[in-house]
Amino acid sequence: MTIPPCPQCGQPNTYPDGDLFICADCGYEWPAQAEADSAETERVVKDANGTALTDGDTVTLIKDLKVKGSSITLKVGSKIKNIRIVDGDHELDCKTEAGPMMLKACFVKKA
């Protein structure tokens, strides 16, 4: 575990003391648990209705989507199986009838 610098003065001269980190320069104390919690937060991706999506879910399109760079349009109501959650502005990686594609979660609902 690395000891973070002081959030108040920014100096690296800090040490752990039980459940706290203490800055030797300014005397500021902060909980060590808050550092561990912020490192473990997982990104939650929600569909158009606010339902949380997970890897492997099946979703349905709520809007016709034109595929950029082609004349194909994905129709409303199309089911997409086995999605994967990824980082970026297009949160869903999936296979559609038009081939592999990245979609935004705001255009789908959980089936």
pLDDT at 10 over 80: yes
Q: Where are the domains of the chain?
A: 1-41, 45-110
d(C-alpha 21, C-alpha 71), whole Å: 58
The CATH architecture annotation of domain 45-110 reads: Roll (2.30)
Residue 3 has what pLDDT? Answer: 83
Band (pLDDT 50/70/90 cuts) for residue 106 is very high
Domains 1-41 and 45-110 share a fold: no
pLDDT value for 30: 87
Q: Is the pLDDT of residue 41 over 60?
A: no
Which residues neighbour 17 within 8 Å (Cβ) at sequence distance 6 or greater?
29
Q: What pLDDT is attached to residue 32? A: 80
CATH architecture of 1-41: Single Sheet (2.20)
Handedness of CA 74, 76, 78, 84 (dihedral sign): positive
